[in-house]
Amino acid sequence: MMSPEEFGRLVDENSMPLALYARQWCGAPEDIVQEAFLKLAVQKPLPEKPVAWLYRVVRNGAINASRAAMRRRQHEAKAAARRPAWFLPTEGTGLDAEAATAALESLPLEQREAIVAYLWGRLTFEEIGELTGSSSSTAHRWYLAGLATLRERLELPCPKRYPTKT
């Protein structure tokens, strides 16, 4: 069994070189090195050559972390591609679905949340206020401000609320 002093010396002398070694494969080498030392601490019996053993464990852990990160990125890219569009292009509306999506996604979170919850979720402003921890009037202001910003960014005319006499 390794004494705490020996283990501490092993950590002090090898942590940085092991992290540098792991950096070849992964973006979080310190985590991999820490896991390797934890595995060594509970290893029964202790390896004959603990430093070489640590390098093997770090190498395997870093390669596994790299593969997992690659799988995660691929999965996220596929999921993003399958994500339903905010707007569907339709003939005759004059609305560019991609531009509308970009404009909606660029809104502050509160405004976007109010618009999506109201238009797509069919929630009332009172329900949106409860959902966001605000008042119904605040939710309504976020909605109106978001619509005004969308109209401006998409260069759409504002609807006339009251008929004017000409």
- Residue 153 and residue 128 in contact, taking contact as beta carbons nearer than 8 Å: no
Task: Give me the amino acid identity at 121.
Answer: G
Take residue 132 and report the two structure tokens written for it.
Answer: 């966001």
Q: Kindly write down the DSSP assignment for every residue of 118-134, as one continuous string.
A: HHTS---HHHHHHHHTS
**C-alpha–C-alpha distance, residues 38 and 33, integer Å:** 9
pLDDT at 157 over 90: no
Among 134, 145, 137, residue whose Cα is nearest residue 108: 145
Could you report the per-residue pLDDT of 114-149, keeping only the tens digit for each?
998 998 889 999 999 999 999 999 999 999 999 999
Could you report the per-residue pLDDT of 46-63, keeping only the tens digit for each?
999 999 999 999 999 999
Q: Which domains does the chain have, with CATH numbers?
A: 4-82 (1.10.1740), 97-154 (1.10.10.10)
Band (pLDDT 50/70/90 cuts) for residue 17 is very high
pLDDT for position 135: 96
pLDDT for position 166: 47
**C-alpha–C-alpha distance, residues 98 and 88, integer Å:** 9
pLDDT for position 77: 85
Take residue 148 and report the two structure tokens written for it.
Answer: 């005004």
Helix (H) or strand (E) holding 101: helix 97-105
Calculate what percentage of the chain has a pLDDT beyond 90.
64
pLDDT for position 94: 61
**C-alpha–C-alpha distance, residues 163 and 166, integer Å:** 9
Mean residue pLDDT across the chain: 87
- Residue 53 and residue 36 in contact, taking contact as beta carbons nearer than 8 Å: no
pLDDT at 86 over 70: no
